Amino acid sequence: MSSYTISNTKLNLNRIFILQKSELEKRLDPYYYAHEFNAYEKLLIKKPYKKFHEILKSVNNGYDFRDYKESGTPYLKVANVKQGSFDFSKIQYIDFNSSEISKNIQLKKGNLLLTRKGTFGNAVALDRDYDYVISSEVFYIEINNKSINPKFLEIFFNSKIGQAQFDKNKIGAIMGSLSQEAIRDLKIPFPNNEIQNEIVKIYSKYIEQKKLNETEAERLLLSIDNYLLGELGIKLPVPPENTLKNRMFTISLKEISGGRFDPKLYDNNTQAIRNAIKGTNFDKSKLKELVTHSVAGDWGKDEKEELVDYKRCLVIRATEFDNLYNLNLDNSRVKYRLINTDKLDRIDIQENDLLIEKSGGSPDQPVGRISILTNEILKTHQIGYSNFIHKIRVDNSKINSEYLFCFLKTVHNIKLTDAMQSQTNGIRNLIMSNYFNQIIPLPKIDKQKEIAEHISEIREKAQKLKDQTADALKEVSKEIENILLK
């Protein structure tokens, strides 16, 4: 068979290949032997390497908990374990006594955590002991070889080469995951300690620059709300101390008649924020008085169906809303659906239309995020949006769309939309009548454009730092790959 070749030049040789019987391992499916996986492995085995089980002491799954508490022992789930770091922004807690742990998942310095389900293959080397509990979807890996630097192992696992091995050995076609058995035969490069430490040094230098870039980008983005409010002469009230006295207030029956019987809408802090906005010296208008076009979205049909009078569209969901920028459409999670052409005509998507998240949110994030459809987005994609999203267009003789996008984003950031929502079955719903009745400050159009352009410049600077970080990662990854494989 070694004399056989593929002569048809029209075929994609990355997807079609010849495999000898002697090369067959534990699985008989073409994906396992895909070109990219084999290309890496052929280079790996030319260098010193070990099978993962040769350097393992143990691999243990964590515990499955659902009874979360306000405080207690931090409970690490897949969402908390990123590549090379922890994300504690949405950490949950459990009431748990570490002495009750029956299996060995007490997190000790020098060992690793590896996500096994959902976003699988994220590795973190433990730089100290942690009094945390991991979920059943995370592996705790004890290393039994002093000749390998745990940080080097983390870097390798998170590299393109390591991720390719996880992808090759995953189980499950739709939602892939890793099993203890699946990772035992991973091929681990085993250079000498000097080379391992060199790789760790190279990567650590990148991490230092990444942190600097992220800190500066965050500073820039956090300055936007203060700039916008300052330009509009809006001074936000200082949130009162959370005491029973401060939480109590009175309101006349006239003010709530025919409306919502909901304290959040009328509490002292919400009223103070609204009064601060009303107190601006600029002209003001209710949002509904500025809107010229308002229409709900459509989830459409499965893109695999064969339907007449339908178009394939990238359907924007709440998932695509970016809290810091605008829309994040550059990822593998976007959804394409078939939307009826008559519906597309009715929603009539145009540049500078605004999309409002009307259902979704999370325990620590109000619903009501905002995005704007730029020319760049519309040139790149045929756009639709789901039934959880609402679209508006405004009268540009009265208000600049980009300015309104910036203002409504700030309204969400200061959590004023928190008072414009209801919550049922864990899902937050924006009360559209409240949203459309909110007050919008209206400086002269030239001033609106000035504000919007300045905020756009700030976001561009932050995005440039983000892009520089991504480019640096590519360079570092290539350098490490060359050290390991060349």
Least confident of 281-295, 378-392, 416-430: 416-430
Q: Pull the structure tokens for residue 32.
A: 């396992």
Q: What is the pLDDT averaged over residues 92-111?
A: 80
Considering the domain architecture, whether residues 393 and 464 belong to the same structural domain is answered as no
> Would strands 68-69 and 123-125 be described as parallel, antiparallel, or unpaired?
unpaired
Q: Is residue 343 part of a domain?
A: yes
Residue 285 has pLDDT above 90, yes or no: yes
Q: Is residue 9 part of a domain?
A: no
Q: Is residue 185 part of a domain?
A: yes
Which residue type does 107 have? L
> What is the pTM assigned to this prediction?
0.77
Residue 252 has pLDDT above 80, yes or no: no
pLDDT per position as a tens digit, 42-65: 888 889 999 999 999 999 998 888
Task: Write out the DSSP string of 416-484.
Answer: GGGGGEEEETTEEEE-HHHHHTSEEEE--HHHHHHHHHHHHHHHHHHHHHHHHHHHHHHHHHHHHHHHH
Q: Mean pLDDT: which of 168-182, 268-282, 301-315, 448-462 is highest?
A: 448-462
Considering the domain architecture, whether residues 203 and 185 belong to the same structural domain is answered as no
Considering the domain architecture, whether residues 118 and 164 belong to the same structural domain is answered as yes
CB-CB contact of 47 with 191 (8 Å): yes
Give the containing element (helix H, strand E) for 383. strand 383-385
b/e per residue 263-284 (b: at least 16 CB within 10 A): eebbbebbeebbebbeebeeee
CB-CB contact of 73 with 131 (8 Å): yes
Q: Is residue 277 part of a domain?
A: no
Considering the domain architecture, whether residues 409 and 476 belong to the same structural domain is answered as no
Find the CATH number of the domain harbouring 288.
3.90.220.20
Question: Strand order of the sheet with strand 354-357?
Answer: 291-296, 389-394, 354-357, 370-372
Residue 357 has pLDDT above 90, yes or no: yes
pLDDT per position as a tens digit, 304-335: 898 999 999 999 999 899 888 889 887 777 89
Considering the domain architecture, whether residues 375 and 434 belong to the same structural domain is answered as yes
Q: How many domains does the chain contain in total?
A: 3
**What is the rounded distance in angstroms from the CA atom of residue 264 to the CA atom of residue 359?**
18
CB-CB contact of 154 with 123 (8 Å): yes
Considering the domain architecture, whether residues 181 and 326 belong to the same structural domain is answered as no
pLDDT at residue 425, rounded to an integer: 62
Considering the domain architecture, whether residues 383 and 469 belong to the same structural domain is answered as no
Residue 379 has pLDDT above 70, yes or no: yes
Considering the domain architecture, whether residues 29 and 47 belong to the same structural domain is answered as yes
Cα separation values, 62 from 75, 122, 274, 350, Å: 10, 15, 47, 49
H-type helices in 32-149, by residue range? 35-44
What domain range is 319 assigned to? 283-442
